[in-house]
A = this chain, B = another copy of it.
């Protein structure tokens, strides 16, 4: 039924946002995203800057994969990780809905500054 599909989609979307925001809540994972944004990297390249075991880094990559933030291409024994921007854009979309709140704040600040400036003259 139509509403069942709609409910499924709403719930699926909610769960995905949970996974995405959870994945972003860790500085190591954000740094991994940053590294993949520069170029695609092997798992060992991603592990290099961190004072962590390869197993610990692999766990972080798995959290990113669950959130669909990483695409992993396996050629032979090499796993190449690249960024999946679609999930980032979903999180960004969610936040953008609230943009008016902070842009309003900037508008208020700007008009206050203008008023202050005009008083100076």
Contact = CB atoms under 8 A, between A and B. Distances in A.
A105 interface: yes
A21 B19 CA distance: 11
Contacts of A18: 25-27
State the main secondary structure of chain A at its contact with B.
helix
A20 B96 CA distance: 15
B95 A88 contact: yes
A21 to B, nearest CB: 4
Number of copies of this chain that the complex holds: 2
Contact of A102 (B88, B95, B104): B88
Chain A contact residues (Cβ within 8 angstroms of B): what range? 20 to 34
Q: Which 6 A-B pairs have the closest CB atoms?
A: A85-B101, A21-B25, A89-B102, A85-B102, A22-B25, A21-B24
27 contacts: A17-B25, A17-B30, A18-B27, A19-B25, A21-B21, A21-B24, A21-B25, A37-B97, A37-B98, A37-B101, A83-B98, A85-B98, A85-B101, A85-B102, A85-B104, A85-B105, A86-B102, A86-B105, A88-B95, A88-B98, A89-B99, A89-B102, A91-B95, A92-B95, A92-B96, A92-B102, A95-B95
Interface of A: 14, 17-19, 21-22, 24-27, 30, 33, 37, 83, 85-86, 88-89, 91-92, 94-99, 101-102, 104-105
